[in-house]
Amino acid sequence: MNYNAAYAAKRRSESQILDLISDGETVLTNGGPGLPNRFLQLLAQNATRYQNVRLCHPMRRETLPLEPELTAEANEGHIFHVSEFTFDKPVIEAVRAGRATYRPNHPSDSARFFPYEIDLLVVPASSMDRHGFFSLGAFGGWVMGFVSKARRLVLEVNSHQPRVLGPCQVHISKVEALFEANYPLSTISLAGMVPTSEEKAIAQHVAGVVLDGATLQAGVGQIPETMLKLLKEAGKKDLGVHSEAMFDSMADLYDAGVITNSRKTIHRNMFTFSLVVGSERIYSFIDDNPAAEMHDIAYVADPRVIARNHRPFSVNATIQIDLSGQCASETIGHQHYSGVGGQWSFHYGAALAEEGRAVITLSATGKGGSVSRIVPMLPMGSAVTISRNDIQYVATEFGIVNLKGTTLEERALLLISIAHPKFRDALERSAREDLKLLRRSTYAAAMPGVAAQ
């Protein structure tokens, strides 16, 4: 096969790409720094020419403006959004207004249980190599499982997309059409941002339970970022990475010799991940790097795979936790704030392993310190992201506790002990009088054998 000739034959203009969409069809795109931004920009400009097109995507992180806004009320009846992974402000507003919806699922199940026929799958890709293959770029692991399900695959070829090694590649023979775009990827950089005293305290507690040789997963945010930096200061050795996402700080720890991937049980000496989120630093680090492999998220976020790693360690954040250990990371009551990503999968997978450790973090208070984020019961309608049966470590700025295996009474006492001091008395009263959980005279009672181990 002459790959260059095949490329030329499948290359289309932007208007020809839009002609591939018909009324009533389902269009699926990638997201994050793998968002087909030029395609969605064109779709936004032409949305009203279509009727009842279902647009599914994991998240929006555009660098080219979508004007008019795709989720706007004017596009109702033309484009209906299904959010697959997490929410962005325009999508949140559309969900609350009924112009969009959210599909709850674990990322590892997203493609397997996708309920619609995919008429068109649009994915950004790196430039084609001499063997006719395209890397699916910075977010390729999320979308790889959909490739075999789509009737037609369209690539938005962008030289800014990194060429990531591993199985998240597609061959020119599998491509229906392609078009070329040229724009920078979205970036998230925490460099120069100073963590609050509360965030630093939480990160210190979390870093304190990381074992040498641990295989890390970390969510995005200031607390995981600070925790990763503290691992170097703490003198941790031979850490590995098997994570839903890769971040700048992981590359920094690799260069510093803290992350070596040398003690991993599977994919030894390799970073294993599905997504990349960060600055140009991490995009450059993974580009054509033999030590970094991107895999389908159905594999990376499978708890059975996670548990096979050496000392798997997971850290993620939640919005609220109740005194029985239930975590709400997606909603407060009926109000949606975010999708969940691989939080449960990595927490559960890490906790399954013999020396695994899974941590959920949250600041003890919210709304400027006026409310406790450790609550007697979750508000009615809250989505339980991690059940009380699955929860292991919980950390606030006031400490870290291990709830695994504890009774309802013991875990209530443990959680009250890491709540903000000004809310502890009220939590203790509620646990005793409303929930009937406590029989002890005070939450400060000694609990021999129940501590963060």
Q: What is the DSSP string of 44-80?
A: HHTGGGSSSEEEEES----SS--SS-TTSGGGTTTEE
Please name the residue that has the structure tokens 């000739």: 5
Q: Are 153 and 145 in contact (CB under 8 A)?
A: no
Q: Are 246 and 165 in contact (CB under 8 A)?
A: no
What pairs with residue 290 in β-bridges? none
Q: How far apart are CA 255 and CA 212, in angstroms?
A: 17
Taking the CA atoms of the chain, what radius of gyration do you get in angstroms?
A: 23
Query: CB-hemisphere CA count at 13 Å for 97?
Result: 15
Q: How far apart are CA 113 and CA 105, in angstroms?
A: 9
Catalytic amino acids?
244
Q: Are 222 and 191 in contact (CB under 8 A)?
A: no
Of 393, 327, 386, 389, nearest in space to 357 by CA: 393
Number of helices (H), then strands (E), in the chain = 14, 24
Burial (Cβ within 10 Å: 0-12, 13-18, ≥19) of residue 298: buried
What pairs with residue 11 in β-bridges? 178
- How far, in whole angstroms, is CA 106 from its chain's centroid? 10
Q: Which residues contact 6 (CB under 8 A, 6 or more apart)?
A: 132, 172, 173
Cα–Cα separations (whole angstroms), residue 128 to 156, 158, 159: 11, 10, 9
Burial (Cβ within 10 Å: 0-12, 13-18, ≥19) of residue 232: middle
Which strand ranges, in their side-by-side order, compose the sheet holding 215-218?
292-294, 271-276, 240-246, 215-218, 312-317, 357-361, 393-396, 399-402
